[in-house]
């Protein structure tokens, strides 16, 4: 029972924390040196030791949990032994100290680090072979050599560490190819993998289909693979906040919102998930803001609802899972928290991880830019202020009503501060915000193009809008925010001795949450409008977002992410697999590697491979490029008319079943109007237009119809899967170049020009190639699919850069010529499929 196992600094820390807890139980996690001496420790929980098991990711393999016995008797209790056994299974030791930290009893030593069990790439690939366990569970086998190759490459990078860039063509089955090595690695080494995706569709596929199949296929007598889906905090209902909102609904909500709150309470009693995805009807922002889980409002173990908490149930499942599925936004939020707190070992937004798969990895740069920057909107500020008070209801009226029930001097003083100080500061904030966003809106409207985006360069410091009152409006708003913060903190200090369970204290916690968000808004406004000199390069802009409600938004995002991502993500995570159907531009990964910092020395990229699709594209797909249609940039009206004409011609040739993908909503709407104006579609070929229904509803109607025509923009270029006969023609209206004047794109182009590189060739062309490949991939989804892709932009074959853009596309049978030539070849192709030309009848 020697205390010598504890370094002197650790002894002092434990003694101080136990004293601060007045001798009650405190749990710590310690780190050992090479001599198995505990040299660092941190507090993880206060209360009985069994409570620590409720905390996800409480300790990592190789650490030790310590807690004190106030009695001074170091004999482990039954609860101690149960906790010790559970932790030992996860590679964590367990020890007990007395309150004076003069004795230490190690109940279970930290298990000796076992040698890493390497994966045999051949064995891993064999799991996906004809007689492997996956085929047995599926009950069918489809030979996919590229899938097995990808699984072997993934196994290699798990063994040796580093970064793998693996482009997997349509039909490779990339999710199985990276999930099988991840699950086998977890079984052999007890180490989780985080899998991050960009789209909800892929998340649902992984958790609802792929992982359950693999869990059955790879289960052994002593291990069943486990997995979990983890979402951001605000996706989950907080039972404590729901209880508080219901208790104060008379002062917080009008009748309609109160009824909505009661409906949420009824749902909370029966849901097992507790997340927004489980709700049939999405609640109003006002109500959800009052009941959503928030990290800075959570009392964790002290919460009476902790055991049933939906969020922590999900986090506990994630902490114990072999594979944790998240999205890029949550991953980027986790990265931002780790950078800000310099925390690379403990749980942050996500549990700690050393193995990462980035699926749909081509989106990572833009998602990271959003989360590592700041955005502030007029609607967002208005909603925060409305949380404080709106039409006599809100947090301020609620706390004023609670304080009115008390007759002590502190309550009276706090009540006066609410009525005289906080309400005045709130009114000042509203006036200043209205003025600020009105001036910014007028400035945006002064731009030549209506509804345009205004980039805020260094020259914006001299813009006339400042002389029109923008400076005072900004300063007044920041002063009002500070007044709100100071007033809330004063009341909080006065109520510090109140019972934490009492409603005024709960309301103060809610008020502090709003204030923290107002502080973040203040920082965002400053970063966008008056950034301090000498900071890292940033891109700033002003724009209106939203179609139903125009929302003026200010943004400031980092310009250079390459070094940041390399140092804080790719160099810190042992294994990173980046995959997508579109990573290589013209067969080369250099563009992606440069954008993400993967080419910076010393590079950790160990594997770069393009895994070919197993589909027979020459037989399954016809690719046509008409050369006699107007160029979209030179003759917009002529190109619009050509798109409508081609669409109608192909509808007769293929009997419908057409996707038309556009690069702008304007072009989509013009084509929809032109086609409807001709009145030639009739009921046989229903026209479905993005914006005239929910995306999933449009896709369902398209699949069910079998002969519909769907017009879509950006969200339909990827993440859409319509196998079978329902989709047989894909029209790509034009090459998907990014708009060069869009602020982030413009800034990146300027940065390339500063480095002596041609921005169009070095940035816009590779991006267009990747986007075109994504769009092309919507058509052929299985070995039995057939169809035609028609690109209505002759620049792809008449401009020098066209070959680079087309180079990465699947090798379909290609026809280049007049529209009449392309149409005739499509006619022949579909006749071979049993569709009779011009008759409007099909098989």
- The whole-angstrom separation of Cα 359 and Cα 356 is 10
Residues 6 or more apart in contact with residue 548 via CB below 8 angstroms: none
Instruction: List pLDDT tens digits, range 756-766.
Output: 999 999 999 99
- Specify whether the CB–CB gap between 494 and 410 falls below 8 A: yes
Of the segments 414-423, 490-499, 812-821, which one has the largest average pLDDT value? 812-821
Q: What is the domain-level CATH number for residue 132? A: 3.40.50
Q: How confident is the model at residue 304 (pLDDT cuts 50, 70, 90)?
A: confident
Query: Could you tell me which residue, 408 or 815, shows the higher pLDDT?
Result: 815
Residue 50 has pLDDT above 60, yes or no: no
Q: Which two tokens stand for residue 484?
A: 């709100």
Instruction: List pLDDT tens digits, range 92-105.
Output: 899 999 999 999 99
* Residues paired with residue 359 on neighbouring β-strands, in sequence order: 579
pLDDT, mean of residues 492-500:
61
Q: How confident is the model at residue 841 (pLDDT cuts 50, 70, 90)?
A: very low
Query: Does some domain include residue 16?
Result: yes
Query: Does some domain include residue 331?
Result: no
Query: Which of 23-27, 35-39, 444-448, 595-599 is predicted with the least confidence, judged by mean pLDDT?
Result: 444-448
* 534 and 440 housed in the same domain: yes
Kindly write down the DSSP assignment for every residue of 508-536, as one continuous string.
HHHHHHHHHHHHHHHHHHHHHHSPPTTPP
Q: Average pLDDT of the chain?
A: 90
pLDDT, mean of residues 434-442:
96
Residue 44 has pLDDT above 50, yes or no: yes
Sheet holding 227-229, edge to edge: 227-229, 323-327, 193-197, 355-359, 575-580, 162-168, 605-611
pLDDT, mean of residues 475-497:
86
Q: In this predicted structure, what is the pLDDT of residue 444?
A: 92
Q: In this predicted structure, what is the pLDDT of residue 491?
A: 83
Residue 362 has pLDDT above 60, yes or no: yes
Q: In this predicted structure, what is the pLDDT of residue 704?
A: 94
pLDDT, mean of residues 266-270:
93
Q: In this predicted structure, what is the pLDDT of residue 92?
A: 87
Residue 494 has pLDDT above 90, yes or no: no
* 672 and 777 housed in the same domain: yes
Q: In this predicted structure, what is the pLDDT of residue 843?
A: 35
Query: Does some domain include residue 328?
Result: no
Provide the residue range defining the domain that includes 266: 232-320
Query: Does some domain include residue 332?
Result: no
Residue 225 has pLDDT above 60, yes or no: yes
- The whole-angstrom separation of Cα 827 and Cα 836 is 8
Strand-pair category, 621-626 with 787-791: parallel
- Specify whether the CB–CB gap between 293 and 234 falls below 8 A: yes
pLDDT, mean of residues 300-326:
88
Q: In this predicted structure, what is the pLDDT of residue 125?
A: 97
Q: In this predicted structure, what is the pLDDT of residue 306?
A: 85
Dump strand ranges (E) for 127-225: 162-168, 193-197
pLDDT, mean of residues 120-129:
97
Query: Does some domain include residue 642?
Result: yes
Output phi, psi for 660, to 5 deg: -120, 120
Q: In this predicted structure, what is the pLDDT of residue 565?
A: 96
Residue 302 has pLDDT above 80, yes or no: no
* 568 and 600 housed in the same domain: yes
Q: In this predicted structure, what is the pLDDT of residue 345?
A: 73
Residue 1 has pLDDT above 70, yes or no: no
pLDDT, mean of residues 696-719:
93
Query: Does some domain include residue 703?
Result: yes
Q: What is the domain-level CATH number for residue 484? A: 1.20.140
pLDDT, mean of residues 209-227:
95
Helices (H), ranges, 271-309: 285-291
Query: Does some domain include residue 838?
Result: no
Query: Does some domain include residue 661?
Result: yes
Q: Indicate the helix (H) or strand (E) that contains 64.
A: strand 63-69
The structural domain count of the chain equals: 5
Instruction: List pLDDT tens digits, range 638-672.
Output: 999 999 999 999 999 999 999 999 999 999 999 99
* 103 and 131 housed in the same domain: no
- The whole-angstrom separation of Cα 174 and Cα 609 is 13
Residues 6 or more apart in contact with residue 38 via CB below 8 angstroms: 5, 6, 7, 10, 30, 31, 32, 64, 66, 95
251 vs 258, 360, 391, 530, 662, CA distance in Å? Answer: 10, 46, 10, 38, 49
Instruction: List pLDDT tens digits, range 692-701.
Output: 988 889 999 9
Residue 837 has pLDDT above 60, yes or no: no
| Boundary residue ending a domain (74, 108, 142) | 108
* 587 and 625 housed in the same domain: no
* 101 and 186 housed in the same domain: no
Q: How confident is the model at residue 501 (pLDDT cuts 50, 70, 90)?
A: low
| Boundary residue ending a domain (611, 643, 678) | 611
- Specify whether the CB–CB gap between 842 and 835 falls below 8 A: yes
Q: In this predicted structure, what is the pLDDT of residue 639?
A: 96
- Helix, strand or coil, per DSSP, at residue 142: coil
533 vs 477, 537, 713, 747, 819, CA distance in Å? Answer: 21, 10, 39, 18, 56
435-436-437 Cα angle (round to 5): 95
| Boundary residue ending a domain (53, 80, 108) | 108
* 74 and 150 housed in the same domain: no
User: In angstroms, how far is CA 380 from the centroid of its own chain?
Assistant: 20
pLDDT, mean of residues 688-707:
92
- The whole-angstrom separation of Cα 141 and Cα 286 is 51
Q: In this predicted structure, what is the pLDDT of residue 87?
A: 77
- The whole-angstrom separation of Cα 740 and Cα 602 is 32
Instruction: List pLDDT tens digits, range 569-623.
Output: 999 999 999 999 999 998 899 999 999 999 999 999 999 999 999 999 999 999 9
Q: What is the domain-level CATH number for residue 12? A: 3.40.140.10
**Quick one: which of 442, 507, 517, 428 has its CA closest to 475?**
428
Q: How confident is the model at residue 842 (pLDDT cuts 50, 70, 90)?
A: very low
Tell whether the torsion through CA atoms of 272, 278, 282 and 288 is positive or negative.
positive
* 265 and 310 housed in the same domain: yes
Residue % of the chain over a pLDDT of 90: 65
Residue 344 has pLDDT above 90, yes or no: no
Query: Which of 36-50, 134-148, 323-337, 804-818 is predicted with the least confidence, judged by mean pLDDT?
Result: 36-50
Instruction: List pLDDT tens digits, range 521-531.
Output: 999 999 999 99
Q: Indicate the helix (H) or strand (E) that contains 374.
A: strand 374-377
* 165 and 202 housed in the same domain: yes
Q: How confident is the model at residue 771 (pLDDT cuts 50, 70, 90)?
A: very high
Residue % of the chain over a pLDDT of 70: 95
* 682 and 734 housed in the same domain: yes
**Quick one: which of 387, 404, 417, 416 has its CA closest to 504?**
404
* 478 and 402 housed in the same domain: yes
Instruction: List pLDDT tens digits, range 655-664.
Output: 999 999 999 9
Query: Could you tell me which residue, 328 or 75, shows the higher pLDDT?
Result: 328
* 214 and 346 housed in the same domain: yes
- The whole-angstrom separation of Cα 127 and Cα 135 is 8
Residues 6 or more apart in contact with residue 462 via CB below 8 angstroms: none
């Amino acid at each position: 029972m020697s205390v010598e196992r504890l370094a002197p600094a650790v002894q002092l820390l434990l003694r101080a924390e136990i004293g601060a807890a007045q001798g009650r139980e405190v749990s710590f996690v310690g780190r050992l040196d090479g001599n198995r001496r505990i040299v660092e420790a941190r507090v993880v929980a206060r209360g009985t030791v069994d409570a620590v098991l409720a905390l996800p990711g409480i300790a990592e393999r190789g650490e030790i949990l310590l807690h004190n016995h106030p009695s001074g008797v170091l004999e482990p209790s039954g609860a101690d032994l149960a906790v010790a056994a559970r932790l030992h299974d996860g590679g964590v030791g367990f020890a007990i100290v007395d309150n004076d930290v003069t004795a230490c009893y190690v109940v279970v030593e930290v298990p000796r680090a076992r040698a890493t069990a390497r994966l045999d790439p051949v064995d891993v690939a064999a799991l996906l072979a004809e007689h492997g366990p996956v085929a047995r569970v599926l009950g069918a086998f489809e030979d996919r050599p590229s899938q097995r190759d990808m699984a072997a490459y993934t196994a290699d990078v798990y063994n040796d560490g580093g970064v793998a860039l693996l482009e997997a063509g349509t039909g490779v089955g990339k999710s199985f190819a990276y999930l099988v090595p991840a699950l086998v690695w977890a079984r052999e080494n007890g180490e989780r993998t985080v899998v991050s995706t960009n789209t909800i569709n892929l998340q649902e596929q992984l958790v609802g289909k792929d992982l359950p199949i693999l869990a059955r296929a790879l289960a052994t007598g002593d291990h069943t693979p486990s997995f979990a889906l983890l979402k951001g905090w605000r996706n989950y209902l907080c039972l404590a906040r729901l209880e508080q909102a219901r208790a104060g609904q008379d002062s917080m909500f009008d009748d309609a919102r109160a009824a909505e709150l009661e409906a949420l309470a009824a749902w909370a009693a029966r849901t097992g998930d507790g997340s927004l995805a489980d709700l049939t009807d999405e609640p109003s922002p006002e109500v959800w803001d009052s009941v959503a889980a928030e990290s800075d409002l959570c009392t964790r173990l002290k919460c009476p609802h902790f055991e049933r908490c939906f969020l922590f149930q999900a986090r506990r499942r994630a902490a114990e899972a072999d594979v944790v599925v998240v999205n890029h936004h949550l991953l980027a939020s986790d990265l931002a928290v780790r950078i800000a707190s310099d925390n690379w070992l403990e749980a942050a937004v996500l549990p700690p991880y050393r193995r990462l798969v980035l699926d749909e990895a081509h989106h990572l740069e833009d998602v990271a830019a959003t989360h590592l920057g700041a955005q502030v909107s007029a609607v967002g500020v208005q909603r925060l202020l409305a949380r404080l008070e709106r039409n006599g209801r809100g947090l301020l009226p609620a706390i004023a009503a609670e304080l009115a029930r008390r007759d002590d001097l502190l309550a009276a003083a706090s009540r006066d501060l609410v009525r005289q100080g906080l309400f005045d500061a709130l009114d000042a904030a509203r006036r200043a915000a209205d003025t600020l966003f009105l001036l910014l809106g007028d400035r945006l409207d002064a731009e030549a193009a209506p509804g345009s985006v205004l980039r805020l360069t260094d020259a914006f410091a001299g813009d006339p809008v400042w002389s029109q009152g923008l400076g005072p409006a900004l300063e007044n708003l920041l002063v009002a925010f500070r007044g709100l913060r100071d007033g809330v903190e004063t009341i909080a200090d006065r109520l510090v001795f109140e019972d934490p369970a009492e409603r005024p204290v709960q309301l103060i916690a809610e008020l502090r949450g709003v204030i923290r968000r107002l502080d973040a808004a203040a920082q965002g406004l400053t970063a966008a409008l008056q950034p301090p000199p000498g900071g890292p390069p940033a891109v700033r802009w002003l724009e209106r977002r939203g179609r139903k409600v125009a929302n003026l938004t200010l943004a400031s995002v980092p310009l250079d992410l390459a070094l940041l991502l390399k140092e804080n993500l790719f160099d810190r995570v042992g294994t990173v697999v980046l995959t997508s159907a579109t990573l290589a531009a013209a067969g080369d990964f250099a563009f992606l590697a440069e954008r993400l910092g993967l080419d910076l020395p010393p590079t950790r990229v160990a594997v770069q491979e393009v895994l070919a699709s197993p589909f027979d594209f020459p037989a399954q797909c016809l690719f046509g490029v008409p050369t006699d249609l107007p160029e979209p940039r030179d003759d917009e009206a002529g190109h619009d008319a050509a798109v409508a004409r081609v669409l109608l011609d192909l509808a007769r040739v293929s009997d419908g079943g057409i996707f038309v993908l556009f690069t702008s909503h304007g072009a989509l709407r013009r084509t929809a109007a032109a086609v409807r104006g001709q009145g030639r579609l009739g009921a046989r070929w229903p026209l479905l237009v993005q914006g005239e229904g929910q995306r999933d509803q449009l896709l369902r109607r398209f699949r069910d119809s079998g002969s519909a025509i769907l017009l879509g923009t950006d969200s339909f270029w990827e993440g859409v899967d319509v196998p079978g006969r329902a989709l047989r023609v894909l029209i790509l209206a034009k090459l998907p170049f990014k708009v060069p004047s869009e602020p982030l794109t413009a800034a990146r182009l300027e940065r390339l020009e500063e480095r002596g590189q041609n921005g169009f060739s070095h940035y816009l062309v590779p991006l267009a190639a990747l986007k075109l490949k994504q769009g092309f991939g919507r058509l052929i989804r299985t070995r039995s699919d057939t169809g035609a892709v028609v690109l209505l932009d002759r620049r792809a074959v008449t401009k020098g850069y066209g070959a680079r853009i087309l180079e990465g596309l699947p090798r379909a049978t290609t026809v280049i010529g007049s529209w009449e030539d392309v149409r005739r070849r499509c006619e022949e192709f579909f006749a071979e499929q049993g569709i009779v030309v011009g008759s409007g009848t099909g098989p």
